[in-house]
A = this chain, B = another copy of it.
């Protein structure tokens, strides 16, 4: 079960608001998906995610396939019950991690052979297997196996990767149809590097296969932000307006607002969670580093307007103390705040789209940051 409906469009940009329906409930777009790599959004519980406004989380196929493995997760009839998360889950195909973490052995139409980064064991990830694993995880939104390449890459490298991605996508679609029986969704992933004609070709080929939604992969892989936005600006309008559009692995709050303006509906990124564990907190006025000595006797919350558990109960001085003492609670309280920040930000963005006030929301977003930076300097 999967559907998508656009319920509002900004008259001043391509921004839009929609509703995705899955068998684990609805997701209001634009949405940000916290990353639960190993079956846990690091340091927080499902209840805390829901309180922060999370509607869908991401699970990493590569990691979960290696640890704990499908045999164990299938005893729980999938990831939802294993990790105690009742809302929708999107799983990546594992391709990205195979290319970034594992030791690669061989790449072919059949799939990719790799060695585990944990114990060196050898595995084949084929389009069919990518579907099998995600099926076993009980994913609500599955992703095609794709070849994601870093920036910079030659035109030839990007062309070869997009061609392989298309061939794999065709096999993924077949395997998905044979095994999932319309139970969930399968998204195609547009590749093509930083070459617009290759991006167009990838999009056209995938649309020809026909997917439940489309992602743009291979962005935020080292290229300048302007280039990332240009490529998204070029590629997003090529995709069917009736299907959700997902920008993978992006990004900062600034990235999110700009990409939403270009018509993107879904985002995922480790930024709020990873940076929380490094002491970097997101606020309306920009980011702050909690280890900064200016906060050492600051009795105020991280952000006075914020209604998250952390801001309602703790001071900057306490958070700084916990962080410097490497207390486990530090990572957790910081993560709760950052996820709340992201989800509250995107929720307000959606409300602005629905009210057709997206441009003033965007201006206000930048205005608050500028004002604060001016005051600081």
Interface-lining segment among A24-32, A39-47, A208-216: A39-47
Tell me the residues in window 27-76 of chain A with beta carbons closer than 8 Å to chain B beta carbons: 38-40, 42-45, 67-68, 71-72, 75-76
Interface pair B39/A318, CB less than 8 Å apart: yes
Given known A39-B318, A318-B39, contact A71–B329 (CB-CB < 8 A): no
Q: How far is the CB of A99 from chain B (nearest CB, A)?
A: 21
Interface pair B40/A76, CB less than 8 Å apart: no
Using Cβ atoms and an 8 Å threshold, which residues of chain B touch A39?
A: 318, 321-322
How many angstroms between the C-alpha atoms of A84 and B82 in the bound complex? 32
Interface pair A324/B72, CB less than 8 Å apart: no
Given known A43-B332, A84-B314, A318-B83, contact A325–B67 (CB-CB < 8 A): yes
How many angstroms between the C-alpha atoms of A313 and B83 in the bound complex? 9
Q: Is A267 an interface residue (CB 8 A)?
A: no
Interface pair A42/B329, CB less than 8 Å apart: yes
How many angstroms between the C-alpha atoms of A350 and B313 in the bound complex? 32
How many angstroms between the C-alpha atoms of A313 and B72 in the bound complex? 17
Using Cβ atoms and an 8 Å threshold, which residues of chain B touch A324?
A: 67
Query: Which residue numbers of A lie inside 8 Å of B, CB to CB?
Result: 38-40, 42-45, 67-68, 71-72, 75-76, 82-84, 296-297, 299, 313-315, 317-318, 320-322, 324-325, 327-329, 331-332
* 3 pairs of A and B residues whose beta carbons are closest in the complex: A43-B328, A68-B321, A40-B329
Give 17 A-B contacts (CB < 8 Å), ordered by A residue.
A38-B321, A38-B325, A38-B327, A40-B322, A40-B327, A40-B328, A43-B329, A67-B321, A67-B325, A68-B296, A72-B297, A72-B321, A75-B299, A76-B299, A76-B318, A82-B317, A84-B314
